């Protein structure tokens, strides 16, 4: 039994229908002693069948997934749905409005708050609610990301290399159903407590993305995110329709790449003005220049090189040009057949 402090007007046991409401997270501020933070939530149930929890806005400044889910909220009816679809277009509305990664209310990175704390900060309370109320209901957990303002990604669906092989095989198929050119096995190099990690630990089929990055979202990225998501929901068996294979969509096989080693993630050795020197998707060899740090106060200083540590392709680049020492500035990934991995 959950000891959550969060209230909702949604009845999760209703056998059929579309309910639009919210989660109310207790949040006291100087002009609102008994206030709450509202997280919009929509539950669409067509009948018995798979339960899919679909979310975006885990980091506020990552918008393509938020747009895609807002559209589904208005478009889908119980007639379109087999089983249950739970939509949370934005997990972190204050961060989304402020265009920030972290919550302006508690300063937390929501994606480091799992499994959460029932009487913690707003981010910790919401993480606890997801971990103890929503994840246990779901078979599939979808969390749509981008690189936000800090990174630019080769648009991709991605996943952890989960140890359970049955779960892994289903996640590989679901990840490929997103129909991105590149599919990416990633590792956690910046702390623990991620949403997907907790959902995976509970045995869920977890589907995540990095749909580009930066504040500008090109129309092609929105289209790719919405079309990929639609195909994934059909793949999960929760939305009616015929799943498209890559071949039917006019695409070649997905290119699987992995960055499972900490060295695959490149960090700024000094603070300064960063120049990206390799394009997303560009092949690089060991020692190639990925980027370099310049010094606006020291024009006489040679820039500091950031090099590829091994052969691979560039899957992520630095977003803002000003970097601080220790900021991630690039990720180099390597071709892999994920079905051959132990």
Residue 100 or 167 having the CB closest to Ca ion: 100
Q: Which is nearer to Ca ion, 140 or 186 (CB)?
A: 186
Residue of closest CB approach to Ca ion: 145
Distance CA 149, CA 318 (A): 9
Question: Least distance (Å) from Ca ion to the CB of residue 160?
Answer: 14
Supply the minimum distance, in Å, between the C-beta of residue 331 and Ca ion: 13
Residues 116-155 interacting with Ca ion (rule: CB under 5 A): 145
- If the CB atoms of residues 129 and 153 are measured against Ca ion, the closer one turns out to be 153
CA distance 140 to 183: 18
Shortest CB 147 distance to Ca ion, Å: 6
The region of 53-61, 114-122, 248-256, 264-272 touching Ca ion under the rule CB under 5 A is: 53-61
In the complex, least distance from residue 62 CB atom to Ca ion, rounded to whole angstroms: 5
230 lies in the binding site for Ca ion (CB under 5 A): no
How far apart, in Å, are the Cα atoms of 135 and each of 49, 264, 338? 16, 31, 26
Q: How far is the CB of 179 from Ca ion (least distance, A)?
A: 20
Residue 115 has which token pair? 């499994």
Residue 279 neighbours by CB distance under 10 Å: 12
CB of 225 to Ca ion, least distance (A): 13
Nearer to Ca ion, 59 or 230 (CB): 59
Show contacts with Ca ion in window 278-307 (CB under 5 A): none
Q: E-assigned strands of 32-181?
A: 36-45, 51-56, 84-88, 140-145, 151-153, 156-159
Is 106 or 311 the residue whose CB approaches Ca ion more closely? 106
Name the segment binding Ca ion (CB under 5 A); options: 10-18, 56-64, 175-183, 270-278: 56-64
**Minimum CB–partner distance for residue 89 and Ca ion (Å):** 16
Smallest gap from residue 341 Cβ to Ca ion (A): 24
Among 18, 45, 59, 222, binds Ca ion (CB under 5 A): 59
Which of residues 59 and 160 has its CB atom nearest to Ca ion in the complex?
A: 59
CB-based burial of residue 217 (10 Å sphere; 0-12 exposed, 13-18 middle, 19+ buried)?
middle
> What is 223-271 written as a DSSP string?
HHHHHHHHHHHHHTTSB-S-PPPTTTTT----EEEEE-SGGGEEE-SS-
Both tokens of 103, joined, read: 């919550």
What x-and-dash track marks residues 69-108 binding Ca ion by CB under 5 A? ----------------------------------------
167: exposed, middle or buried (Cβ count in 10 Å: 0-12, 13-18, 19+):
middle
Q: Which is nearer to Ca ion, 144 or 205 (CB)?
A: 144
3-state secondary structure 27-63: CCECCECCCEEEEEEEEEECCCCCEEEEEECCCCCCC
8 Å CB contact between 91 and 59:
no
Footprint of Ca ion (CB under 5 A): 59, 145
């Amino acid at each position: 039994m959950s000891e959550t402090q969060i209230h909702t007007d949604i009845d999760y046991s209703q056998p059929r229908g579309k309910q639009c409401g919210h989660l109310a997270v207790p949040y006291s501020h100087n002009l609102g002693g008994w206030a709450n933070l509202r997280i919009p939530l929509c539950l669409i149930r067509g009948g018995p069948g798979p339960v899919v929890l679909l979310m975006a806005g885990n980091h506020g400044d990552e918008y393509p997934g938020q747009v895609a889910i807002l559209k589904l909220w208005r478009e889908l009816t119980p007639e379109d749905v087999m089983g249950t679809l739970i939509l949370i277009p934005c997990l972190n509305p204050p961060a989304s409005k402020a265009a920030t990664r972290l919550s302006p209310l508690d300063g937390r990175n929501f994606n480091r708050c799992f499994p959460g704390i029932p009487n913690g900060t707003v981010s910790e309370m919401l993480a606890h609610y997801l971990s103890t109320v929503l994840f246990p209901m779901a078979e599939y957990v979808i969390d749509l990301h981008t690189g936000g303002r800090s990174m630019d990604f080769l648009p991709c669906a991605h996943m952890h290399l989960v140890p359970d092989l049955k779960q892994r095989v289903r996640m590989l198929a679901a990840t490929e159903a997103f129909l991105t050119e590149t599919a990416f096995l990633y590792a956690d190099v910046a702390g623990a407590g991620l949403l997907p990690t907790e959902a995976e630990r509970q045995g869920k089929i977890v589907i995540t993305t990095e749909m580009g990055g930066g504040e500008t979202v090109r129309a092609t990225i929105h289209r790719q995110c919405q079309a990929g998501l639609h195909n994934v929901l059909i793949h999960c068996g929760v939305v009616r329709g015929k799943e498209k294979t890559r071949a039917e969509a006019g695409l070649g096989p997905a290119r699987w790449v992995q960055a499972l080693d900490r060295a695959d993630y490149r960090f700024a050795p000094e603070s300064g003005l960063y120049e990206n020197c390799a394009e997303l998707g560009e092949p690089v060899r060991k020692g190639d220049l990925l980027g370099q740090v310049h010094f606006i106060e020291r024009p006489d200083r040679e820039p500091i090189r950031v090099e590829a540590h091994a052969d691979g392709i560039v899957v992520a680049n630095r977003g803002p040009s000003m970097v601080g020492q220790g900021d991630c500035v690039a990720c180099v990934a390597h071709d892999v057949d994920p079905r051959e991995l132990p």
